[in-house]
Structure 1
Amino acid sequence: MKSIISAILLLFAMNTSAQEFNKKVQDQYRNQEVLLNSCTREGLTTFPEFKAGYDSYYAAYKPDSVVLSELTKLVKGKKMTIVLGTWCGDSKYQVPNFLKVADALKLSENDITFLAVDGAKKTENGLIDKLKIERVPTFIFTDKSGTEIGRITERPHETLEKDMLIALSTKPALPGKPEKKF
């Protein structure tokens, strides 16, 4: 009996912790369907509202090969989290450009996490509460331990790859000190 109860509790825990990827919801703030919470690249690039400009922006972006060669060393062992809105013009433009850079760097999809927010820049279950998101897209770079080492907020100052180079070259801040942000 004890093992049956344990098995039921385990199945319940697995079902409640399993996250639905590419969840579509009607956003009350934007009055349109949006993706919410964790997404996959495929989910983003096939979502109609996001797909509309994705192919053309991705095709048109030409990353700087000199900067890419410098970035190649710096991205090893790093993780990237992209907080975006499928409704957001900057997200629709910058995320395809970032993915063009990521593809040129041959980044693993396991190293990139996509988190989609609603029009109030929120997710369910506090998924982004600790990330201090003010604008989207926000590209967050972390080291092996999960410590944030830099971020690009909304749009780059120069280009995505140049701003990534600066963000990834920056040493993590001391506890209590802010990280390098753009």
Structure 2
Amino acid sequence: MKKILLSILVVLTVSCVAQTKKETATLDKSGNLVGIATKENFLTEPFKEDWFDVGYNDYKPNQDILNSLKPLLQKVTIKAFMGTWCGDSQEQTPILYNILDATNFNYQNLEMICVNRSKKTPDNLQKGLDIERVPTFIFYKDGEEIGRFVEYPRESVEADILAIVNGKPYKHSYQE
């Protein structure tokens, strides 16, 4: 009986430590999300009705590009930064989720980070990543950054992502 109780105690302790390791999204005093978010966070009010559903449901990605993207996205991880207060984030984040859903992306490979108006989080999750504008979607392959989408697409979100994950030359909207 002591071994069982000790085992339960160890599991609970490890579980609590694992849950506090990452900063989960919370609302700041202005009603904006800050921290690590999931799609479910955007499916709550006020985000769902104000901008997420409209942006997600109204966007019709190019099916040929999605077909090309699907196998390539299986090999990447994404670290995305957005602000629920930011018009560009409100436009591009639902589109990103639409594309990821259409390609059966594994959401274990996505870290969506909501930043405040200073583009920071309380735990400095943005530190060292040169986040100047949001949204910024950073794509990694084998732990190395392969490219980033910044604020708005050059062609379309899915075409820009395809260029990044295909290894083709790509400059985001603020690169010359």
TM-score by length of 1: 0.80
The alpha carbon displacement at 1:49 in A equals: 4.1
Query: For 1:39-77, what per-residue CA distance to the aligned partner results, in whole angstroms no more than 9, with x for missing partners?
Result: 111012314146411111111100101111111121122
Match in the other structure for 1:109 = 107
Quote the residue 1:88 is aligned against: 86
Evaluate the alpha carbon distance shift between residue 121 and residue 50 of structure 1 in structure 2; reply closer, same or farther with a 3 A threshold: farther
Off by >4 Å, runs of 4+ in structure 1:
none
TM-score, normalized by length of structure 2? 0.83
The residue aligned with 1:149 is 146
Contact 1:79 1:141 in 2 (8 A): yes
In the alignment, which of 145, 148, 157 is matched to residue 160 of structure 1?
157
CA distance in 1, matches of 2:162, 2:47: 30
Contact 1:40 1:114 in 2 (8 A): yes
Unaligned runs of 5+ in 1: 1-6, 27-31, 172-178
Q: Spell out the pairing of 1:20-169 with structure 2 (5 A cutoff).
A: 20-26=23-29, 32-49=30-47, 51-143=49-141, 145-169=142-166
Does structure 1 residue 19 correspond to structure 2 residue 16? no
Give the letter for the 1:167 counterpart.
I
Q: 1:123 to 1:64 in 2, by over 3 A?
A: same
Quote the RMSD (CA, aligned, Å).
2.5
Letter in 1 for 2:132: E
The equivalent residue for 2:167 is: 170
Instruction: Tell whether the 8 Å contact from 1:136 to 1:153 is kept in structure 2 after alignment.
Output: yes
Aligned to 1:4: none
Which letter maps to 1:59? N
For residue 165 of structure 2, what is the amino acid of its counterpart?
L
How many angstroms does 1:18 deviate by?
3.1
Distance (whole Å) between structure 2 residues aligned to residue 135 and residue 69 of structure 1: 29
- Structure 2 residue aligned with 1:175: none
1:109/1:52 Cα in 2 relative to 1: closer, same or farther (>3 Å)?
same
